[in-house]
Structure 1
Amino acid sequence: PGGAADDAKPSLEANDVVLSVDGEEIKDADALIALADRVVRGRVEPLPVLVAFDRRGQRMLTVLELGRPGLQDPGMEARKAWIPVTVQAITPELGQKLGVPGRAGVRVTRVLGRSATAGGLEVGDLIFAIDGDPVEATQPSEADVFDTMIRQRKIGTTVTLATVRGKEERMVKVPLESSPRLAREMKKYEDPNFEFRVRDVAEMDRVELGVPAGEKGVLVESVNEGGWAALAHLADGDVILAVQGDVVGDVAALQKKMEAVAASKPSSVVLHVRRGFRTFFVEMQTGWSGR
């Protein structure tokens, strides 16, 4: 079934017969839809309800959370200092091959912003200390040690990095930027009809997913199995650029468009989608009967 029915434990399956919800008898599909609409109307958080159902002669119970929150704003976290690079830890094996045996630190794998470029950092640079403090990273899981050390500094100040490029020891001064908003800080929206969840695009999403700077859209976080979006092969990580030909620059715009779709109940809905470096159209077939 997908959605709340699929998330319940035990989940509802095809051919299960719903008998009652919170003690209220369900005589047909219209009665179930009317009850669900009444329960969730005006709510901003899901409401758990007790569902009695028949499964091949067994009288079973489960708890469903009816009513998904629509637009969610988790709020912004305090900005921290940041150097716009990504790094990997220098493992003992990697250090041996790079000519720096026994030294802990990180290797620059990507340069993202102007401050890192202005400071002279390049992909392949090895960083061993920040203002004289050693970067103690020797295992793959310790790569975030570098970011943690930087976050403890003040935005707008300059740090001195002890680096190696090739065989040359270098001291590099880099100004600290304000960190971009994180994925968990982005506003989110979950569509109850097409059963997919999206959020605003974070700066790192653009880098990792190949979304061009300035291109507007929303990132698909999840698609419920069996829903209309899943049947149309919309996938996690897709970026929705437009709905029915209208650009959706953020989740608020997408929510407004999807609410208009729900009101007009078209037989299909066309999304313009980016997946990696290519864009294409996804046509979601609908079945509004009883909704």
Structure 2
Amino acid sequence: MRSFLALLLALPLSAADDARRPEVDRAIARLSPTIVRIEVISEDGSEGRMLRQHAVGSGAIIDAEGRVITNYHVAGRGATFLCRLADREELPATLVGADAMTDVAVIQLDLSRRRAKTPLPVAEFADSDRARAGDTVLSMGCPAGLTQSVTLGIIANDAMVMTRFVGAMNLDGESVGELVRWFGHDAVIFGGNSGGPLVDTQGRIVGINEIGVGSLGGAIPANTAKAVAAELIAHGRVARGWLGLEVQPLLRSFSARDVRGVLVRSVFRDSPGAIAGLRQGDVLTAVAGQAVHADCDEQMSTYHRLVADLRAGREIKVDFTREGTALTATLVPAERPANIAREAELASWGLTVRDQTRLSALRAKRPNQDGVVVDSLRPGGPAAEAKPALLEGDLILSVAGRPVKDIATLRAVSRDLQKAKTEPEAVLVAFVRGTAEMISVVRVGPEVDATIAPRAARPWAGFASQVLTAELAKALGLKGKAGIRVTQVVTGSVAEQASMKVGDLWFKLDGKVIAARRPEDAEVFGALIREYPVGAEVELEGQRDGQPLKLTLKLAERPAPAAELPTLKEPRFGFSAREQGFDDKAARQGEGDLRGLLISKVERSGWADLAGLRGGDLLLSINGRPVPDLNALRTGLEALAKEKPRHVVLQVRRSISGAFLEFEPDWNALEAAK
């Protein structure tokens, strides 16, 4: 045996690889047809808005109905999904359910759009309890959004946990490590592999890849992932037991007393544990007849899984010791509440907000779950501009004298306040900050496009110039001369009509010296022109190509600058557009008469941003509707809101190129955020 082992270790690596090549090939052939690349637009609340970002993950088809298993951190916050199958066909998908505590999610392929008529390939789960350190495994998926890839390795740890020294993995307030003991492995995974399967040599899913810790990958064991997926498919969520206790491993000092169990570090008010009389410092020794023990972090997940599997409402016994005395208590587990609720956007407030959960209300020392928690604020938005301004963490309790129980109530109150209103409504808001009870006035309602105050007509000569500095004058043989040099003649302007040319030099205006000699004198000529009314005729004296020159101009009205042009803000898609100004059209001379609107701003992580719209783009049409002016854009956007098309296509001009940009808005979320 020893000589055989020595011979095996002496073999070149390539020979060992060749020996297992057939089983690797079989595993790939069996599992790869089920691999799915998932493109997702996810949403996260920040800066008072639901910001959207594009991400890519992996998954595997797990049943003939087209359900795909992946990670919560891939799909749990998804608004839209596009899945690319192994045969290169692309299908949209919807979220079936997602579980943050195990980082498992299930999405449903839209098979009505599938071209192929053959049955879907379906992955098989292995019994992950049989997996051991040293087993050969393959990581399969679509890293970095690329097509399928496979890496090879072994299971390095069949019960990997994140200790306090590494840190916890939290998803939406839930600690994944409470329940999951990962398979640590060295089958390399990259960004985009998340949600893809860890595969055994028989081509079965032994885990779902999730994390990387140093050079190790971490996969959720198949038995855990399969059980959670079944719950999500059946109920859309996973219900778990809760005792209202926070526990930790026993302290080292307990080992000297030969104590076994887990240490209660806190008991939530009004929880099952509190009702049963458990206290901080008690040592639990058995739960529902099963002994519990942990003297290190690695052992804690066993206790957490035991409690999670308890059925809410079914009475159990808990054995514990208190100051050395053995005791038993009867508990009725409750359903485990979420740590925090999902945030939602209130555009008319400039806020993202959350409902209170039972746990978040307890931590905030609130008597109940009533109220809405401010999650983030939009800078310059109504809530941020209130006096005093609302802040993150504030708890809104009433608006205009009406109690606010939750987000649904706040939305209803906001809608009532905004009925038939075209401008924001000032409302009194009562909220709690820490232990202080405060009030403020917030102007809630639709954003009003900034109107440009009427401006006095200003004269304009239709050309741009530079100062004839002393250095330039000397170089041109005009030592001692002051004035300006023409650098641009605007197409269609009075200067062009008067036959002015680039390079013309002007020394006098109506016989008055243009006293511009230094770079800082750039406004001298403009100041002289502004002394005249629009329509006045002026005479310029100078030279062209060394010859004296005189021109007469009839001053026109100065075109409105970009900052004074009418602008429309589109908050749903996250962009602002304005009319084209004279300068914009002049800059596009030679491109034909392009009628459209200039994009003046694109909100970060909005739908337009995700589609690739940029500031400076010329918007020509939306879903085939031309938008030559703001009225056309407003009408087109109103039509889209009624039609709610699946795809929105923007036709734009960018520099000398054209482009078609596409996005798939989540209309339900857009309507709810009003």
| TM-score bin, normalised by smaller chain | 0.7 to 0.9
Contact 1:164–1:170 (CA under 8 A) maintained in structure 2 = yes
Structure 1 residue 40: deviation in Å?
Answer: 4.1
Aligned residue among 225, 229, 241 for 2:604: 225
Aligned residue among 80, 85, 94 for 2:458: 80
Give the match for residue 379 of structure 2: 7
Give the match for residue 240 of structure 1: 619
Give the alignment of 1:69-218 within 5 angstroms: 69-70=448-449, 73-74=451-452, 76-112=454-490, 113-140=492-519, 142-209=521-588, 212=591, 214-218=593-597
Q: Which stretch shows the higher mean deviation, 85-94 or 260-269?
A: 85-94
Structure 1 residue 42: deviation in Å?
Answer: 4.0
Structure 1 residue 248: deviation in Å?
Answer: 0.8
Letter in 2 for 1:78: A
Structure 1 residue 189: deviation in Å?
Answer: 1.3
Structure 1 residue 142: deviation in Å?
Answer: 4.1
Provide the rounded CA distance (Å) in 1 between the counterparts of 2:479 and 2:521: 17
Question: CA 1:65/1:142 → structure 2, altered by over 3 Å: closer, same or farther?
Answer: farther
**What's the CA shift string for 1:57-114, capped at 9, x where partnerless?**
xx999968642115x5536533333221122233444444444344432221111135
Give the alignment of 1:38-53 within 5 angstroms: 38-46=416-424
Q: TM-score, normalised by structure 1?
A: 0.79
Provide the rounded CA distance (Å) in 1 between the counterparts of 2:664 and 2:572: 11
Question: CA 1:238/1:140 → structure 2, altered by over 3 Å: closer, same or farther?
Answer: farther
Structure 1 residue 204: deviation in Å?
Answer: 1.5
Secondary structure of the residue aligned to 2:668 is coil
Provide the rounded CA distance (Å) in 2 between the counterparts of 1:122 and 1:154: 24
Provide the rounded CA distance (Å) in 1 between the counterparts of 2:463 and 2:517: 18
Give the match for residue 142 of structure 2: none
Provide the rounded CA distance (Å) in 2 between the counterparts of 1:107 and 1:141: 15
Letter in 1 for 2:530: R
Provide the rounded CA distance (Å) in 1 between the counterparts of 2:429 and 2:469: 53
Secondary structure of the residue aligned to 2:529 is helix
Provide the rounded CA distance (Å) in 1 between the counterparts of 2:587 and 2:615: 14
Contact 1:130–1:160 (CA under 8 A) maintained in structure 2 = yes
Q: Which stretch shows the higher mean deviation, 61-70 or 108-117?
A: 61-70
Letter in 1 for 2:461: I
Identity in percent? 31
In structure 1, stretches of 5+ residues that fail to align are: none
Provide the rounded CA distance (Å) in 2 between the counterparts of 1:114 and 1:179: 10
Root mean square deviation, CA, Å: 3.6
Secondary structure of the residue aligned to 1:7 is coil
Contact 2:483–2:514 (CA under 8 A) maintained in structure 1 = yes
Question: CA 1:240/1:152 → structure 2, altered by over 3 Å: closer, same or farther?
Answer: same
In structure 2, stretches of 5+ residues that fail to align are: 1-45, 50-346, 351-376
Give the match for residue 650 of structure 2: 271
Question: CA 1:230/1:168 → structure 2, altered by over 3 Å: closer, same or farther?
Answer: same
Q: TM-score, normalised by structure 2?
A: 0.38
* Structure label with greater radius of gyration: 2
Structure showing greater relative contact order (alpha-carbon pairs closer than 8 Å, 6 or more residues apart) = 1
Provide the rounded CA distance (Å) in 1 between the counterparts of 2:550 and 2:531: 20
Provide the rounded CA distance (Å) in 2 between the counterparts of 1:157 and 1:282: 47
Provide the rounded CA distance (Å) in 1 between the counterparts of 2:656 and 2:438: 48
Secondary structure of the residue aligned to 1:289 is helix
Q: Which stretch shows the higher mean deviation, 141-150 or 214-223?
A: 141-150
Contact 1:16–1:53 (CA under 8 A) maintained in structure 2 = no
Question: CA 1:221/1:289 → structure 2, altered by over 3 Å: closer, same or farther?
Answer: same
Question: CA 1:211/1:245 → structure 2, altered by over 3 Å: closer, same or farther?
Answer: farther
